[in-house]
Structure 1
Amino acid sequence: MTKSTETAGATTSYLRIFERFALIVVWALLILFFSVLMPSSFFNWGNFAILFASYAPAALLALAIIVPLTAGDYDLAVGATLTLSSCLVGVLNVWMGLPIVLCIVIALSAGAAVGLFHALFIIYFRIPSLVVTLGTTSLMTGIVQWMTNSSTIGGIDNSLIMAVVGGRIFGIPYSFYYAIAAVLVLWYVFEFTPLGRRLLFVGRGREVARLNGVSVDKMRVGALVSSGVIASAAGVLYAGTLGSADPYSGLNYLLPAFAAAFLGSTTILPGRFNALGTLVAVYFLGTGITGLTMLGIPLWVTNVFNGGALIAAVTISQLTRGREATDIG
C-alpha cells in the first residue's frame, strides 16, 4: 500500500467520522446563533427544559415512523393515531369516567389495532403503504371529530399530568425521559438483536430476505403494529403534557416527525434509520423552530422551515443511502 493510498484512506475515515456527527455540530452552532441573538431569553436552562419536554411527543412520533421505514413501508397515519389516542384518553376519562390506567391501555390497544388494519391492506391485499395510511389518516380524523364533537376536551385525570410533567429531573419534566427510554429501547433492538437485523434485512431487499429464510410478512406486520403502538404512546404523552385532548393536534407533528426521521438517517449511523440520530434530528428541528418563534417570525416561516427541512432531509438521506449501497456492493 502506497503512502498516498494510506493518506486517502485516512482522509476518508475522518470524513466518515465527521459525517456521523455533523448534525450535532450544526445543532450546537444553531444554539450558539440563537444564544448570541437572545442571550437572556434563549440561553437559559428553563428554556431548554421546556424545549426538551414539549418535543417529547414529536420524538416518539418520529420513532414510530422509523420502525416501518426500516422495513420499507411508510406510515403517514402516525399523526392521526396520536390524535386518536389522546382523544380516546380524553373521552373515556373525562366524559365516561373510566380510570386513567384503563384509558391508557385502551388507547395503546387502539394503536395496535390501527397497525393491524394497515397490515391487512398493505401486506395481504398488496395496496401501497402510502395509499393505505393516507386513507386511514382521513378516516381517523373524521372519527376523532365525531367522537369529540370537534371540541377540545379538558380536565384529564391529574395523575396522568403528574406522571408526565408533574415531576422533574435536573429541571426537565418526566416526558423527556420517557422519550429517552423509548430511544434506548429501539437503539438496542436495532443494533444488538436478531430482530433488528432481520428488520433491516427486510428493508434492504425483501426477496433476498425471504430467500434467506426471513419471514418478511411477519416482520412487516410487527413493524406496522409497533408503529401504531408507539404513535399511541405519543398521544398519551401529549395528553398528559397538555392536560387535555385536541382533535386537531396530531397532524401538526407529522411533517416535523418525518423530517426528523429522514434527517436522523444522515447522522450517527448515516444511511440507516436509527433511533439516536432521530432523537438528535427532532431536537435540532425543535431548536430551530423555538428560536425562530422567540425572534417573533410570522407563522408561515415555521411551515417553510419544516417543509424545507423535510425536502433537504430526504435528499441527503437518499444520497447517503445510495452511497452506502455502492460501498457495500
Structure 2
Amino acid sequence: MTDIKNTADKSAQPEINYLRLFERFALILVWLLLIAGFSIVMPDSFFSWGNFSIMFASYAPAVLLALAIIVPLTAGDYDLAVGATLTMSSCLIGVLNVWYGVPIVLCIAIALGTGVVIGLFHSLFIIYFRIPSLVVTLGTTSLMTGIVQWITNSSTIGGIDNALIMAVVGGRFLGVPYAFYYALAAVVVMWYVFDFTALGRRLLFVGRGREVARLNGIAVDRMRMGALITSAVLASMAGVIYAGVLGSADPYSGLNFLLPAFAAAFLGSTTILPGRFNPLGAIVAVYFLATGIAGLTMLGIPLWVTNVFNGGALILAVTISQLTRGRETSDIG
C-alpha cells in the first residue's frame, strides 16, 4: 500500500524539462562563454571592471530602445522610428539648451513630451486610419531625420549642461555610471507590468489575437495606443540618456542603435521566457551583443565586421524567435 502511495506521489510531481530549462538560459551561458573567451585572449584590456562599466553605461540607451521596441511588438505592432525618436530627443536637448539657453530640466520635459506627441501621431495613422505600422513608422523615421538635420544644420552640438552629464555618467554606484541603473530600473518596471499585472496580460492577449481580445471586452485600440505612446516615450528617454553619455547631440546617432536594439528585442525573446518578448531577455541580449562588438573592436577587427555582426544577429534572432513563438503557440493551443 505504501509503495502504491509513493508511486502516486512521484507521478504527481511535475517532471523537470531540462531542454526547456537549457533553452531559457542558453543565451546567458553563451554570453558568459563569450566573456571568458575574450578575457583569455585579452586578459589585461578586456577583463577589467573599467571596460565593463563603460560598456554598461554606453549601451544603456540601447536597452531603453529594445524596451521601446518590445512594447508595441507585444501588442502586434512595429515601431521602426525608435532610433529617429532617440535622435530627435537628444538633438532637441542640444538645440534648446546650448543654442537657446533653455534650462536642462525643461529641455528634458520637452523631449519626453515630444515622445508623447510622436506616439499619438503613430496611433492616429496606425489605429484610426489603419495604415500598417511598418509603413507609418518608416515614414516618420524619414520625416524626423529631415527635421533633425534642419534644426541642427546637420552638425553635432556640443556643450550640453554639465548637470545632465553628471546625472547620467558623472555619478557611479559600485563603479558603474548611473546610466545603467536608469535602464535597469526601466527593465524592472516593465518586467513587473508584463508578468504581474492585468495590463501586461491584456497587452499580450491583444498581440496574440485582436479580434478574440475585443470579444473578451478588452479595449484593443486603447491598448495599442498606449503601447505606441510608451514606445515613443522610452525612445525619448533613451535620447536623454544618450545626450548625457555623449555630452553632445549627434543628428545621425539613432542609426547606430536601431539595428542592435531590434536584434536584442528578438534575441531576447529566445531567453528567460522563450516565445515571448520580455524585458529581462532584452537586457541580456543587449549586453550579449555589446560584449561581442566590444571584444571584436578590441581585437582590431575592421569596422565593417560590426555591421555584419549586427545584421547576422538580427536575422538569426528573428529566425529563432519565430520558431520559438510558433512552438509556444502550438503548446497553448
TM-score by length of 2: 0.96
One-letter amino acid matched to 1:33: G
2:327 counterpart of 1:316: no
Match of 2:76 in 1: 72
SS of equivalent to 1:40: coil
1:115 aligned to which of 116, 119, 142: 119
Match of 1:147 in 2: 151
Paired with 2:125 and 2:171, the residues of 1 have a C-alpha distance of: 42
Paired with 2:330 and 2:225, the residues of 1 have a C-alpha distance of: 29
Q: CA deviation at 1:122?
A: 0.4
Q: CA deviation at 1:90?
A: 0.4
Paired with 2:200 and 2:100, the residues of 1 have a C-alpha distance of: 40
2:139 counterpart of 1:135: yes
2:96 counterpart of 1:92: yes
2:241 counterpart of 1:228: no
1:204 aligned to which of 208, 219, 229: 208
Paired with 1:328 and 1:26, the residues of 2 have a C-alpha distance of: 28
Structure showing greater Rg? 2
Q: CA deviation at 1:252?
A: 1.1
2:79 counterpart of 1:103: no
Paired with 2:75 and 2:118, the residues of 1 have a C-alpha distance of: 17
Match of 1:173 in 2: 177
2:305 counterpart of 1:301: yes
One-letter amino acid matched to 2:262: F
Paired with 2:66 and 2:188, the residues of 1 have a C-alpha distance of: 14
Paired with 1:327 and 1:233, the residues of 2 have a C-alpha distance of: 37
5+ long unaligned stretches in structure 1: none
SS of equivalent to 1:272: coil
Match of 1:213 in 2: 217
Paired with 1:100 and 1:274, the residues of 2 have a C-alpha distance of: 33
Paired with 1:159 and 1:83, the residues of 2 have a C-alpha distance of: 20
Paired with 1:10 and 1:296, the residues of 2 have a C-alpha distance of: 48
One-letter amino acid matched to 2:160: I
CA RMSD of aligned residues (A): 1.4
Match of 1:269 in 2: 273
Match of 2:263 in 1: 259
2:62 counterpart of 1:58: yes
One-letter amino acid matched to 1:82: L
Match of 1:285 in 2: 289
One-letter amino acid matched to 1:286: A
Q: CA deviation at 1:251?
A: 1.2
Cα deviation 1:176-203 (Å, max 9, x = unaligned): 0000000000000001111110000000
Paired with 1:134 and 1:37, the residues of 2 have a C-alpha distance of: 41
Q: CA deviation at 1:119?
A: 0.5
Q: CA deviation at 1:41?
A: 0.4
Kindly, what percent of the aligned residue pairs are identical?
82
Paired with 2:318 and 2:15, the residues of 1 have a C-alpha distance of: 28
One-letter amino acid matched to 2:198: P
Cα deviation 1:293-320 (Å, max 9, x = unaligned): 0000001100000000000000000000
Paired with 1:205 and 1:74, the residues of 2 have a C-alpha distance of: 16
TM-score by length of 1: 0.97
Q: CA deviation at 1:10?
A: 4.0
One-letter amino acid matched to 2:195: E
Paired with 1:69 and 1:298, the residues of 2 have a C-alpha distance of: 33
Paired with 2:15 and 2:48, the residues of 1 have a C-alpha distance of: 40
Runs of 4+ in 1 over 4 A off after TM superposition: none
Match of 2:188 in 1: 184
Match of 2:4 in 1: none
SS of equivalent to 1:239: helix
Paired with 1:317 and 1:251, the residues of 2 have a C-alpha distance of: 23
One-letter amino acid matched to 1:172: V
2:330 counterpart of 1:326: yes
